[in-house]
Structures are given as C-alpha cells and as structure tokens.
A and B are shown apart, each in its own frame.
Chain A
Amino acid sequence: MKFIRLAALAFATFLTAASADAFEIERVTSPGGIEAWLIRDRTAPVLAIQAAFPGGSAQDPSGKDGLANLMVALLDEGAGPLDAQAFKTKIEDNSVEFSAEADRDYLTVGLRALNTRRDAAVELLSLALAEPRFEPQAIERVRGQVLVQIQRDAENPRSIAWRTLWTTLFPGHVYSRRAQGTAETVPVLARDDLVAFHRAGLVRDGMKIGVVGDITADELKPLLDRAFGKLPMKGALNSIPEAKTASPGTTTVIRRPIPQSVVTFGHVGLKRDDPDFYAAFVVNYILGGGGLGSRLMEEVREKRGLAYGVSSSLSTLARAGVIVGSVGTENAQTATSLDLIRKEWRRMREEGPTETELKNAKTYLTGSFPLQLSSTGRIARTLVNMQVENLGIDYLDKRNSYIEKVTIEDARRVARRLLDPDRLTVVVVGDPAGLPVN
C-alpha cells in the first residue's frame, strides 16, 4: 500500500463532512416526540440508524475509569427477555450490524440492517437501549475481554505513545484518563455502577438521531417510538470542566527494544465551534492532514524516505481542542525526522501557506466531500455529528462555502495562532539515537 493515513488512527472526533446536493434532509418527529434527521436513500435495500447520547467516558467517576466503555459493551449481552446467547442469536440470524461505543463526550449506538429485517432490528435496538440485563456472567465475560485488551495495549508502542501524549496534554483532567480503563480500575467496576451509568446516560434528553435508508418519514415515525420511546426522559450527567491543555514542549523518550521509534506529538489547538475552525482545518490539511501532498509527507517521506507515514490532525472535543500527529522512523533517523517536523511547523507558523497551496487545499476539501457519504452508515453518522456539533440542518449544503470563504489572510493568521513549534510536545517510544531529551 502506498500509505496509511495515520491521522485516521488517532482519535478524530470532528466531522469532515461537506456538501452533496443529492441529499435532502428531513426533520422527522414521532408521535411520542422523538426527533430524527432522515435522508431517504433508495440505493440499497438497507436501513441505518445512528444515535448519540451526551456523556461518554469523560463521565467515568474517579477510580472507575472504563465504566462507560464496559457499559456500552454490555448492551448486546442480554436484554429484556433474552439472555446473552439468545440476544446474539437474534442479532446474527437477522443479520443486524449492531454497534455501541463510548467516545470521550458521547455514547453512540447504531445499527444497519436489510429492509426485510427492519422490524426485528428495531426491536433488538429498543431492548439493548432500554432493558440491558447486565447479568453477572456477562459482566465477567466482557470485563475479561476488556482486561485482555488493556494487556495487549500495555506494550504496544503506538498505544503507549498515544496515551502518554494524551496524559501530557491534559494533566489532571478526565480527558487524560483512558476510556477503556486500566488494569486497576476495570476489576472494581460493579454491576451497580453499570446500572447507574446506564440510567444516567441513556436518556432522551440530548439524544441525537440520524436515519438513512429506503424509508419514508411516515414509516419512520412509529419505528422511532419503538426504538427509543422506552428510554427515560431525563438523566443525570456531571458537568465536565473545560480542559486546561498543557503544551510544555517536552520530549519524553520511553525506551523499548524495537527497530522503529513510534512518535506522537501535539499541542493545544482549537475547538469545533471556534470561528477559526475552518481556517485551521485548511492549514492542517496543508501541513500534515493531506496524505502524500502535505508538507510533512513531502519533507519526511518523499524527499528523504525517513518514514512510511507522517501526519497531523485536529482533534476536537467538547471541552478541549488539540492538534496532534505521529510518525514512525528508524531509530537512527528519529532525531532528523523530528527536526524536520519542527521546521515545517515553524515555517507554516511564520509564513502560512502559499496561495497555490490554499487553492489546492480548497479544491480537495470541497471536491472530496461526497466521497465521505459513501454508505448509509456513514451518512447516518454524519447526520448525528451535524446535530451534536450544532452545525445546522443545511450544513451539507453550506459546508463547502465555509471552506471557500477561508482567505489567505485567515490562513496565515490562524497558522500563527494555531502552530507553535516551541510548545510541540513529543513522545517517543523506541530506541532513538541522538535525541536531546528535556
């Protein structure tokens, strides 16, 4: 493969969607008062439903890291009258793709199913959301799976590099904690904790729903009530304080006997609702977000062959925004790669992009938007993100104009605001040579 976009492997939570004239969004409200955004799509005999609930792993109580993650993992491990095996059997026999995840700020639940399996799929979704059983045996089984995953990540260089960067950027904040929990916290999570978290988090208040498929608004309305109507109206979420992002500009080396150093880097960025977001998005594309054409790729990979991939991305959370990136370089060349990255960081800060770079970035970012709306599931997630980020129901039509509006002056100003090589905070996992450590 020519390259992997490493940024996609990080924790991008913002949306890079944009315009596609083909899609008309309908706001649908059920008799029970549940609202969903619907795109009717007849391309395939498939229905996708996606929902987000405020309150993700950032809600984990202190010392109970991993609670949100364990809770959502148990939603399809037995619900209502069905024990785990019975539930899974129904899911599989109806070919329902069920997903449930805990992000930092949101819980997301979704399904994709054939039209012919629609009723069964909605029934299963309703049970999973409103009546999960949290049976002791299922809890122990899934807890065991999470603990093994934690063990696997323990010595995985990429995992070490990312979680160390994350803790460095968010000292003392819930964002510094690990969403999957730790070997210390996961064993103490009790059934009562799971039940309480479920009751507090999976509620109709703040819920956002996106639906895509060959279904009319009138057909969807009763399904919404069946799928989501049993949820309580209100829950109880803790307010999460704004994160004070630290960007100390340090280089942390974690020695491991591996041939390639895995490097992560980053510093404070900006949030999704920042007026400069689109300018920053364009600047990051030119710096390190744009695959082989980006400045970082050009200098580190194309000219010198120092890495297979190098990239940067904006990561926007509810209470913080950061710009982060990663590179993997042979130990002997790690210092050289980092010098080049810092140099490009500084050059972009001081000079901004060129007119040509800005023009090229705009044609890519606007032209490639419809490529992201490639399946019902992806479109449904986009509809949910639009609601979560408060982008407006006309966002698909307007998004490209937001990018077009970024001027060279905006880009230069925001590059200077966003990028600071002296604050770039670096974590190296490997056995790098000649790296000054501070």
Chain B
Amino acid sequence: MIRDFSRRPIFRLAASAALLCGLAAPALAGVFNPETFTLPNGMQVVVIENHRAPVVAHMVWYKIGAADELQGKSGIAHFLEHLMFKGTPSVPPGEFSKIVARNGGQDNAFTSYDYTGYYQNVARDRLELVMKLESDRMANLTLTDAEVDPERKVILEERRQTVDNSPGARLREQMRAAQYMNSPYGRALIGWEQEMRGLTTADAIAWHRKYYAPNNAVLVVGGDITMKELRPLAEKYYGAVPARAVPQRQRAQEPAQQAARRVTLESAQVRQPSWQRTYLAPSYMRGAIEHAYALQVLSEILGGGATGRLYRALVADKELAVGASSYYDAMGVDLSTFGVSASPRIGVEIATVEAEVNKVLAELVEKGVTADEVARAKSRMQDAAMLARDSFSGPARLFGEALSMGRTVEDVEQWPERIGQVTPEQVNEAARYVLREHQSVTGILLPKPTS
C-alpha cells in the first residue's frame, strides 16, 4: 500500500524508485520498453507491458501536489485526493471504490509534494470500466458540504494517526520545516492542523477546477495490455475531456543555507533515541542538477545495506549503532535533500554516534570513494532495475512519478546507462558539494527525562 503523505514513506519510495529504474549493463536495449503518445488535449499516455496474469494497473497522475498549495491552505492537495471519491452526477458519493470492488478491483490514491495519483488494479476486461470512472471524476466531480464535512474529520484523524501520535513523524515534520525556510517543501504534506480545519468545499472545488485537467495529467497503464488495445479507450474516455488553461508552477525557492540547524524532540513515547541529518541537495530538476546521478551512487556507497560505509563503521566495526543508512531522492521539482541516519545501541550516547558519522563523512569527503566501491554500487543499482520488471504495477508507478515531474520516458529508460556513466570523481565532487554542515539540519529524538 502506498503511503506518500508523510516524510518517511517518501524516503522509502525514493529508495525504491532509485532502485526500480535500472538495467543490467550488458543489455542496454531498455528496461521496461514503454510505449507512449499524447492525446490531442495534451494528456500523455504510457503503456508498460507485463503479461504474467490477465490484470492491469491503471493510474492517472496529476502534476499538482502539496507544494503548489497557497500559503494558508496547506492540506488541500491531500484533502482533494480524498474528496475525489465523493461522487459525480452519474456516480453517487462513496460508490467509486464500491464499483471497483464489485468488479474485483482494488483502488487507492496518494499525494506527494509534486503530484497526486489515483490507481485501480483490475482484471484486464474491467479496464474500460475504470477508465470511464476515472475520466468521469476528472471532468465532473461534484462536492457538497454534506460529503466534505465528515471527510475533513477523516483527514484530521489521518493526521493524528500518522503524525501526531508518532514522535518520529513529528520530528521529521519539524526537520522538514527547518530545512526549507522558503520553499513550500517545508510545509506538512498532509497539512498543518489549524489550516486543515479551515479548508472548505469551495477551496476543494477551486483546486479541482484549476488543476484537474487532462493537459495536466498523465495516464499510465501497466500489465496485460498493449498500446494498440489501450489507445482507442484512452481516446474515447480521456480524449473527450477538454483541455483547460492550467497555471504554471510558481514556487518560492530555497535560498542558500548559511548555518547548520538542529532540531530536538523529547517525548515520553520514546524509549530509544535516534539521530538523523539532512543536507539540502539538488534534484534532477533544480539546483546543481549535474550531481543528481552521482548522489544516487554516493548514497548506495554510504548507506547501501550492510556493506555501506556507515553500517560497516558504526554497526560492524565500532559497534556503536544497531543501524546506519543514507537516502537520497533525485525525483523532485525543487531542491531535494540527502539524508543520513543512525540508531545507537542501548547505552551509547547520541553524541558518540554523531561524532562517528561525522568522521565517516569527513573521511569520505577528504579521501574520496574507491573505483571498486563505485563499480559495485553501480552494478547493484542496475541489477535492481532488472528485478523491478517482476511487478506489473511498480514500473507504472515509476513512469507516472517521473512524468508528473516533467521528466521523460527516456529519462527513466536510460537511468541504468546514466548511472553506469558515473565516475568516482563525479561521486567525490557530489559529496564535496552536498555534505557541508552549514547546509544541514540535524534531528535528534530523545526520551523525555522522567521526574
């Protein structure tokens, strides 16, 4: 199940996304071999075939997310995602998912900073039905207070469950707010509670009218389907929705960070302290984008499994921590972050762990990575891409995410080649560029001292 609304899951997605798009070096023919075309109304269509079972993953991605919200209206992107299930003139409120289920399908939706997505996994002979339903709510969503009011309570419960009840999630939200002083990436993805309470039916309708247009969406279908079969259906259902003018993304940009920031959260719910740090970093789309591929290789070398430098130093050799890893997501319209984290063993001070992480990072920046480390990391990443072909829905998700950011089909297909081209010197440059303390936020989770 997809959980895109909170900080942590996005990292997990990032890791898997990075892992998902690759290809073994010898056969550079293409990993997923997608086919694509664009409808006259501007909606791009992508097919990734997988004929294991007679099922398809049907996904529509809108190029709109929480970072596009107006100041003071945080949460509206995610709220609308919920409200998309509240009916049209032809589908009564709450019926959407029931119709899908009655047809043996599973459906859900997800919201991120840069996109909002909807999917149904169904038998191939039900594909037309879900295309009809999905295009209907793109064009004809109807909302009334009677439906919106209880759903506002649902998203508030969702916030309590996923953020407010969890000290780790609360700390990550605070770290994010500290990392992005000016960029809308600093806001809570699900919304700040007091602003969520104020979101109205009119806000939701305005959001839908403004952004839910075919020319602002991508259709991705994975599974037992060919473009020849899909194309007429896409023309019939999505092609019938007229294009509308959609405003360009205009987002405040993050200024250069001048000083390291520290965030500490103490909670009675915490028995075991933990440590993490994020560094402001380029993405594929923003900042020093030339480092985006090298940073993925760097993350694999630093934090890849049990042979990564952090695990080896902190867990295996020094026995200070029970876990240590790194993460980086290049997929973002605006500046991303490069993260490192460590969990101390029982009885080991946070300061000791932090000092050791600093030592590992300093050594890497000073002495650089080895050619062998880079070769091994690249090989694993390319293998992971081949492994990703196993799933009928995973590749659809990869393409949907990339295209909703403004990346291309070729960018995804060529990922393994581009990873393969990364040199040790590029990894070293990227490390020197990003791993600088003054552009970092350090977050510490601590037990509340008992009186």
Contacts and interface: CB of A to CB of B under 8 A. Distances in A.
Interface of A: 1-5, 8, 20, 22-23, 41, 43-46, 84-85, 88-89, 92-93, 95, 97, 112, 114, 116-117, 140-141, 144-145, 147-148, 151-152, 154-157, 256-260, 262, 290-293, 298, 301-309, 328-330, 360, 363-364, 366-371, 373-377
Interface in B133-180: 149-158, 160-162, 164-165
A124 to B, nearest CB: 14
Contacts of B154: 301, 305, 307-308
Given A93-B379, A93-B380, 11 more contacts: A20-B54, A45-B386, A92-B307, A141-B319, A148-B346, A258-B165, A298-B94, A302-B94, A302-B150, A308-B154, A368-B106
A43 B376 CA distance: 27
B380 A92 contact: yes
A73 to B, nearest CB: 12
B307 to A, nearest CB: 5
A114 B393 contact: no
Contact of A371 (B55, B82, B305): B55
A2 B109 contact: yes
A2 B157 contact: no
A260 B165 contact: yes
Contacts of B416: none
A302 B157 CA distance: 13
A22 B304 contact: no
Contact of A3 (B105, B108, B272, B387): B108
Given A2-B85, A364-B104, A43 B50 contact: yes
A143 to B, nearest CB: 10
A347 B271 CA distance: 42
A1 B108 contact: yes
Contact of B161 (A117, A328, A373): A328
B102 A360 contact: yes
A43 B390 contact: yes
A308 B322 CA distance: 33
Interface string B96-108: 0110011111111
Given A88-B307, A114-B383, A366-B104, A262 B157 contact: no
Contact of A330 (B111, B157, B269, B384): B157
Interface stretch (B1-9, B204-212, B247-255, B361-369): B1-9
Q: Which 6 residue pairs are nearest across A and B when measured between Cβ atoms?
A: A367-B104, A305-B153, A305-B150, A95-B383, A260-B160, A308-B158
B144 to A, nearest CB: 15
Contact of B322 (A2, A85, A144): A144
19 contacts: A1-B81, A2-B85, A5-B1, A22-B52, A43-B390, A44-B390, A88-B307, A141-B319, A157-B165, A256-B269, A258-B269, A259-B164, A291-B101, A302-B94, A304-B150, A305-B151, A305-B154, A368-B104, A369-B104
A144 B346 contact: yes
Given A46-B390, A371-B121, A41 B101 contact: no
A139 to B, nearest CB: 12
B123 interface: yes
Nearest to A359: B102
